[in-house]
Amino acid sequence: MGLGVKKQDTVVVTTGREKGKKGRVLFVMPAKDKVIVEKVNMRKRHMKPSRKYSQGGIIEKEAPLHISNVMLLCPKCGKPSRVGTLLLDGGGKSRVCKKCGEAIE
């Protein structure tokens, strides 16, 4: 299954309690169909002191969202849209915005 969303893409959350929030994709988990979006779906985690967290305490970090709950924001038209693919002459593929038809990247 092609996910259509890559790292560093700007997405908008379409469902759930985070609906309407926009953010940059930090990490994609294709095997689980999940993404981690910057400053969206924040959770508190109680951490013991370690090398990474010398102080320990309560750390806030992003939790994964299901890929079906986010939509790519088209950089050209600025609207959330589905992602299509376009076959190029050289045999490669390109991602395309389904609303305006412009190539993404």
Domain CATH number, residue 42: 2.30.30.30
- Residue owning tokens 């999940």: 34
User: Is residue 25 situated within a structural domain?
Assistant: yes
Domain count for the chain, please give it. Answer: 1
pTM given for the model: 0.88
Q: Specify if 3 maps to a domain.
A: no
Domain annotation covers residue 83? yes
For 82, the domain range is: 10-47+58-104
Give pLDDT tens digits along the chain (105 positions): 467 899 999 999 999 999 999 999 999 999 999 999 999 999 999 999 999 889 999 999 999 999 999 999 999 999 999 999 999 999 999 999 999 999 998
Give the number of C-alpha atoms closer than 13 A to the C-alpha of residue 2, restricted to the C-beta side: 8
User: Is position 52 within any domain?
Assistant: no
Is residue 1, in this structure, part of any structural domain at all?
Answer: no
Residue 69, helix vs strand vs coil = helix
Answer yes or no: is 90 within a domain.
Answer: yes
